[in-house]
Structure 1
Amino acid sequence: MRVLEQLGIPVLRVHLRDTWGAWSPLHRKIVVAAGLSARQERCVLAHETEHALADDLGCGVGLDAAHPQAIPQERRADILAARKLIHISDLASVAQWADDIRVAAHELDVTERMLRVRLHDLNGEGWPWPATSKIAG
């Protein structure tokens, strides 16, 4: 939130049907689904902030062949957000005792999805979802 405040980008919480958040470059606003947990909202805001920082075209373009730039934008936003949310020293500390991804994600205050992104990034395996995946924190 601090970065968004510095950039002058407001966050609106509204009912969303098929996603947890979106960046609107036209309106210079981030929309977040109402009713998310604090952990979910934290991860969504980190992801959408990366879109804003990169001045991406927005999340509404869809992940399809008609908009091939959407896939690399989503991938980059996920990876950069995961890197900022999950510091390697914290991950190493939790990895010493957590034997389950749910437990580790909870301890790191991130969603399981964001932790998976970070682990795949560290392993050099790339983005862990197919190109048609919807962003879900």
Structure 2
Amino acid sequence: MTESDLIAALEDAGVHVVFLPYPKPGSYWHAHQLIVIDARLSSRWQRCTLAHEAVHAWYGHEGPCAPETEAWVDERAAGLLVTEQAYARAEWLHGPDVHAIADELDVTPWVIEAFQRTLRRVA
């Protein structure tokens, strides 16, 4: 899913997205239906952070979440950004190197780690 696709889906859900200098990679405020993404991040990090915050928005999460919820959100975000076919090809090309796979798929390493957790659970 591209950044534009994510933003359009969020807008359809009534969630606004802004990019500005921010002390964290991103945040979602449920009461305001607002996602803030740090504009200083690379486009890759912005898109991955946006996917993470989008999942929080779509599920109506409020405030800081427990670590297990954050891990679950990461896995859902990874599913928005990586397909099994693309992952399999990248792993075939680069072996188990998380950073190389992430570079190949233009996502962050945490997205690949979350995607791998999902694959292990399904297998």
Same fold (TM over 0.5): yes
SS at match of 2:86: helix
Deviation at 1:86, TM superposition (A): 1.0
2:110 aligned with 1:113 = yes
**Number of aligned positions between the proteins:** 114
Q: Which one of the candidate residues 22, 33, 49 is aligned to 1:28?
A: 33
Q: Who is 1:79 aligned against?
A: 75
The whole-number CA distance in structure 1 between the counterparts of 2:68 and 2:93 is: 34
Amino acid across the alignment from 1:20: P
- The 3-state SS of whatever aligns with 1:107 is helix
1:47–1:78 CA contact under 8 A, matched in 2: yes
Deviation at 1:77, TM superposition (A): 1.1
The Cα of 1:70 is off from its aligned counterpart by 2.7
Structure 2 residue corresponding to 1:40, chosen from 32, 37, 45: 45
Q: Tell me which of the two structures has the higher relative contact order, counting C-alpha pairs closer than 8 angstroms and 6 or more residues apart.
A: 1
1:98 maps to: 94
1:10-54 deviations in Å (ceiling 9; x for gaps): 11223222x200110011100111211111111001100000110
Mapped to 2, the partners of 1:107 and 1:2 lie a distance apart of 25
What residue ranges of structure 2 are gaps of 5+ in the alignment? 1-6
CA distance in 1, matches of 2:70, 2:9: 19
The whole-number CA distance in structure 2 between the counterparts of 1:27 and 1:41 is: 20
Q: Please identify runs of 4+ aligned residues in structure 1 that moved more than 6 A.
A: none
**Matching of residue 7 in structure 1 with residue 13 in structure 2:** yes
Name the CA distance, whole Å, in 2 between partners of 1:31 and 1:22: 5
Deviation readout 1:58-107 (Å, 9 max, x if unpaired):
3xx3xxxxxxx533331221110111211101101111111432221111
Gaps of 5+ in 1: 62-68, 125-137
Equivalent residue of 1:97, what SS? Answer: helix
Structure with higher helix content: 2
> Identity over the aligned pairs, expressed in percent?
32
Contact 1:56 1:73 in 2 (8 A): no
Give me the CA root mean square deviation.
1.5
